Structure 1
Amino acid sequence: MTRIGMTILGMVWSVPLIWCIWTAFRPRELATSYSLDFQFTLDNFIKAWQAAPFGQYYINTLLTVLGILLVQIITATLAAYAFARLNFFGKDVLFVIVLVQLMVPADILIFPNYSILRDLSLLDSKTGIMMPYLASAFGIFLLRQTFKTIPYELEEAARLEGCNVFQVIWNVYMPLAKPTYVAFGLVSVSYHWNNFLWPLIVTNSEENRPLTVGLAIFAQSYETGAQWAEVTAATLLVMTPLLLAFFIFQKQFINSFVQSGLK
């Protein structure tokens, strides 16, 4: 029964995606019709790409998403190693504070974050988009759980070979935690790829606007109006990279959560 229920839920979940793909490839005049004739075209994608600077939006999104992920991996790795292996005063209290951050919605921090960026003159910049997300409480927790499962004897062996703490992390912990890094990377990339409210508030120019904001402006523009064919084609352009990434790394994504003890 569980498998049947999951199959039904999966089919329900896929309905909007199937409709989006079907409409994106249909001629404009047939986009909202219910006819099942097989007329397909790529004109919707061409018109959408030409009507808005999606190339620039892609560059902006890739720079911000990958920049956030790179810094998050560095900060989360160092913090997770400290919480998993080092003993220092207040470690448990600090870790509880990190966990509390998981329960704080990011939206309630918009005003103080905006005020800080305004004082730093970082509004309407890629750095301004990235700054509030350069540390991840979820990443710290996930990597800490993985690091604690790695035998300490491996670290001792590396230290006997003359490795310092950074070499131990690079050569021992990070390779053994590869599935966890893949899972965290997918979560981080998907969240920041789809992030809309914060970039909408802090960006004003096409040079810094990400795909989500650009898509919203494109869907509301006068040139597009109610032409659902172009809108769904643009939507498909935005979400296709995430779908491909999930299908490629879904096995590592699932395994990492199983190994970390998360259900």
Structure 2
Amino acid sequence: MARVIESAGAGLLAFLWVLPLLYAVWTAFHPAEFSARFTLGAPLTLENFARAWEAAPFARYFLNSFLLVSLVLAGQFVLCTLAAYAFARYEFPGREIAFMLVLVQLMIMPDVLIVENYRTMSRLGILDSIPAIALPYIASAFGVFLLRQTFKTVPRELDDAARVEGANALQVLLKVYVPLARPVYIAYGLVSVSYHWNNFLWPLIVTNSVESRPLTVGLQVFSSGDQGIDWSVICAATLMTSAPLLLAFLLFQRQFVQSFMRAGIR
């Protein structure tokens, strides 16, 4: 009986989650007059996607978002890997205190730091640029914690075997630890890409031009006109924006779930 209740609850939550997506799909592929009513046999159309693509420079927005998430993810992988390896395998004075300070960062909402981050970007002279969006997020406490938990499970015998073969500390990290943590990198990469692909407030504040604005900020053009809101075009634009994330999650959902389950029991 308990299993039935759990399954029913999970099914209900899944339905509530997917319902807005189903509405967006229906509205995007049908004429505007069918956006508020479901009618069997309603004509399908791709005109909404064409109108959305023409209404905004989507090619530039896609490029900006891709550059943004790539820059952030590359920086996070490098910094989080080095920090996690140091916390997991090296003994140094103040290690536990330093790690606690890293964990404290998890309790600080990014929005609290918007004013100070803006002042910092202004002093650096990089406002209205992709690096200005990415720089406050290059270091990730969550990434350090997740990789540290993974690295701590690697047997030290593998370190000794690699060092006997003549590997230095960096080679041990790259050839032993990083390959073993591949599922965790995939899962964390999905989380990071999803967050920064969908982030809106900070890019909106720190950018002013099309040349540096990502997709999420670019979508506001569809709700700022004087002709009212065309939900068909908005849904089409939203699907184009979210399609890469949905595809990535479908491709890597197994690694995503398994890596977090493994990290949670360590």
Q: Deviations over 1:203-231 (max 9, x none)?
A: 000000000000122332347x3211101
Q: TM-score when scaled to structure 1?
A: 0.97
Shift of 1:77: 0.2
Other structure's SS at 1:205 match? coil
Query: Which of 53, 57, 63 pairs up with 1:53?
Result: 57
Q: Deviations over 1:96-126 (max 9, x none)?
A: 0000000000000000000011111111001
Aligned to 2:93: 89
1:255 paired with 2:258, answer: yes
Q: Deviations over 1:124-183 (max 9, x none)?
A: 001100000000000000000000011111111111111111111110000000000001
Other structure's SS at 2:40 match? coil
Other structure's SS at 1:5 match? helix
The answer to whether the 8 A contact 2:56-2:221 is kept is no
Aligned to 1:148: 152
Separation of aligned partners in 2, 1:222 and 1:152 = 65
Separation of aligned partners in 2, 1:202 and 1:94 = 30
- Of 210-219 and 106-115, more deviation after overlay is shown by 210-219
Other structure's SS at 1:185 match? helix
Aligned to 1:241: 244
Report the residue type matching 1:15 in the other structure.
Answer: L
Aligned to 1:137: 141
The answer to whether the 8 A contact 2:64-2:213 is kept is yes
Query: Which of 91, 108, 130 pairs up with 2:112?
Result: 108
1:211 paired with 2:215, answer: yes
Report the residue type matching 1:198 in the other structure.
Answer: W
Q: Which runs of 5+ in 2 are unaligned?
A: none
Separation of aligned partners in 2, 1:107 and 1:122 = 19
The answer to whether the 8 A contact 1:32-1:228 is kept is no
Runs of 4+ residues deviating >6 angstroms: none
Other structure's SS at 1:102 match? helix
